[in-house]
Amino acid sequence: MSTIDLNEISGLPLKLKNGKLVFGAGMKKVVPEGRIHVRMKAVLKNPTAKAPKEFYDMYRDIALEKDRKTILHNKLRFDITVLPGFKVGDEYNKTFGHYHPKVPGTNTWYPEVYEVLHGRALYLLTNHNEFLVYDARPGDKCLMLPGFAHVTVNPGKEPLVMANWVYPGFNSNYGPIEKLRGVQWYYTEQGFVKNKKWNQAPSIQLLSAKEFPEFGFLNEPMYKTAMKNPKKFDFLSTPQRYAKEFKKYLI
């Protein structure tokens, strides 16, 4: 297996070696939480198809030790997820998928921002009535819009490595996705296939992975952007103050 250098793309001294993250100078090793087949069966198109035991690894709260105070003070958390490239039956490897809760006392859900570090990602977003898909490549930043469930698919053979900034003070909600065996569409070698558990499947709308200047995403690793100007990522902890900016991206 090969070694992939993630230093330039992530802004952190990281490598992917034999599918696992290797932490460089100034970082402490983070032990990942693995998502395994027995759990994923609940959302697979074909739960009885042969599959590897491990689906993906979530490395939570990654940082340069010198940045820890800044990250904590600004109510942020930086995570990296690694999804190897494989299929279960004809369906490509993916994350379980979840919703975020609302900010207490408001009518706004917590958002999140993803960045592809290696490979390719399809980010599937749905709020029941709409189904949005970002087709993202290394360096692309994609906003998980408030109120939208999100699933990440690795549609290739290469491992997908992706990062996210998120507000650390909430628990994600996996129940609605589990109840309906995933979101409305599965991504397979034939393309998108309807999930029959849903009565209705909204048509698929492609979103380009654009730059979002209002939110401070630049053409650089978003770890660096946040450490230079953490206030730019305030929208993650207090999205209720950014209704106007989010509205622009809701179709």
Would you tell me which residues interact with Fe ion (CB under 5 A)?
112
Residue among 175 and 191 whose Cβ is closer to Fe ion: 175
Q: Which CB sits closer to Fe ion, 67 or 112?
A: 112
Q: What would the two tokens of residue 70 be?
A: 């800044």
Q: Which is nearer to Fe ion, 91 or 112 (CB)?
A: 112
Distance of alpha carbon 76 from its chain centroid, rounded? 15
Distances (CA, A) of 199 to 151, 175, 194: 19, 18, 10
d(CA 141, CA 230) in angstroms, rounded, equals 16
Q: How far is the CB of 172 from Fe ion (least distance, A)?
A: 6
Residue closer to Fe ion (CB basis): 165 or 187: 165
CB neighbour class for 22 (10 Å; exposed up to 12, middle 13-18, buried from 19): middle
Could you tell me if residue 18 is left (phi over 0), alpha (psi between -120 and 50 degrees) or otherwise beta?
left
Q: Could you give the CA distance from residue 219 to residue 216 in angstroms, rounded to a whole number?
A: 10
State which residue, 14 or 166, has the beta carbon closest to Fe ion: 166
Handedness of CA 242, 247, 248, 249 (dihedral sign): positive
Nearest residue to Fe ion, using CB? 112
Fill in the DSSP letter of residue 130.
-
Q: How far apart are CA 237 and CA 196, in angstroms?
A: 36
Smallest gap, in angstroms, from Cβ of residue 98 to Fe ion? 6
As measured in angstroms, the least distance from the Cβ of 9 to Fe ion is: 21
Specify the residue, 110 or 223, whose C-beta has the smaller distance to Fe ion: 110
Cα–Cα separations (whole angstroms), residue 200 to 9, 87, 194 = 39, 25, 9
Least separation, in Å, of the C-beta of 126 and Fe ion? Answer: 13
